């Protein structure tokens, strides 16, 4: 029986796979893994984050259209700010600068060439529920867990490692259940 889902792989609608891949590689630091515009689909990745770029003819055969928003969950406000600076300096299309939102997320948004958005965030609501001393104790540790549970390296803003995380505080048995997938996607029209 399936007890743990694998990481989601969002499909990003683009007008041209090759041009979109060039933007994701040059402005956002992804790697182009495979595919081309002629085939209609291409794969990009960065760390444990994988996404598929698909053009209109490819999507029409499956009946899906519209742009998407992909949420990328980082481990701290500092990581959000570091990634923002890196993407801004690389020429990414910034839609909103990092800001602490009333819903307790620090976030910023970028767009690709086709209007799809990457919404980078850190959920600091758990810090507000804890006292200052406890919040420091529950700061996410240096290790991250992938969907398979294996240890990964600490966040490196140069690589923008994006994966499933665990708090790492060692207090899971006493109520700390801070685990989240780093990639969330939803469509919007």
Extended strands (E) in 101-156: 105-111, 117-123, 144-145, 151-152
Whether pLDDT at 135 is above 90: no
Which pLDDT value is given to residue 133? 53
Predicted confidence band of residue 7 (pLDDT cuts 50, 70, 90)? confident
Whether pLDDT at 11 is above 90: yes
Prediction pTM value: 0.66
Rounded to the nearest integer, the mean pLDDT of the chain is: 76
**pLDDT tens digit string along 29-66?**
999 999 999 999 999 999 989 999 999 999 988 887 78
Give CA–CA dist 177/166, Å, rounded: 8
- Per the CB < 8 A criterion, the answer to whether 113 and 14 are in contact is yes
Which pLDDT value is given to residue 180? 38
Which pLDDT value is given to residue 185? 36
More confident site: 71 or 3: 71
Whether pLDDT at 105 is above 90: yes
**pLDDT tens digit string along 137-188?**
444 433 333 333 333 333 333 343 333 334 444 433 334 434 333 333 333 3
Lookup result for tokens 């960065």: 46
Least Cα distance to 123 among 55, 53, 71 occurs for 71
- Per the CB < 8 A criterion, the answer to whether 120 and 107 are in contact is yes
Which pLDDT value is given to residue 4? 74
> CATH code for 11-188?
3.10.180.10
Predicted confidence band of residue 131 (pLDDT cuts 50, 70, 90)? low
Predicted confidence band of residue 2 (pLDDT cuts 50, 70, 90)? low
Which pLDDT value is given to residue 52? 97
Residues linked to residue 185 through DSSP beta bridges, in sequence order = 70
Give CA–CA dist 5/135, Å, rounded: 29
């Amino acid at each position: 029986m399936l007890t743990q889902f694998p990481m989601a792989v969002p499909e990003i609608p683009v007008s041209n796979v090759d041009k979109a891949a060039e933007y994701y590689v040059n402005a956002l630091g992804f790697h182009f893994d495979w595919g081309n515009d002629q085939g209609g689909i291409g794969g990009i990745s960065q760390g444990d984050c994988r996404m598929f770029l698909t053009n209109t003819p490819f999507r029409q055969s499956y009946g899906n259209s519209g742009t998407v928003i992909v949420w990328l969950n980082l481990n701290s406000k500092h990581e959000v700010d570091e990634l923002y600076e890196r993407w801004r300096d690389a020429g990414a299309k910034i839609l909103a600068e990092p800001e602490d939102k009333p819903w307790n997320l620090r976030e910023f948004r970028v767009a690709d060439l086709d209007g799809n958005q990457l919404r980078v965030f850190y959920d600091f609501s758990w810090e507000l529920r804890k006292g200052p001393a406890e919040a420091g104790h529950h700061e996410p540790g240096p290790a991250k867990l992938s969907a398979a549970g294996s240890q990964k390296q600490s966040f490196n803003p140069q690589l923008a490692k994006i994966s499933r995380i665990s708090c790492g505080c060692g207090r899971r048995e006493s109520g700390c259940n801070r685990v989240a997938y780093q990639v969330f996607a939803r469509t919007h029209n």
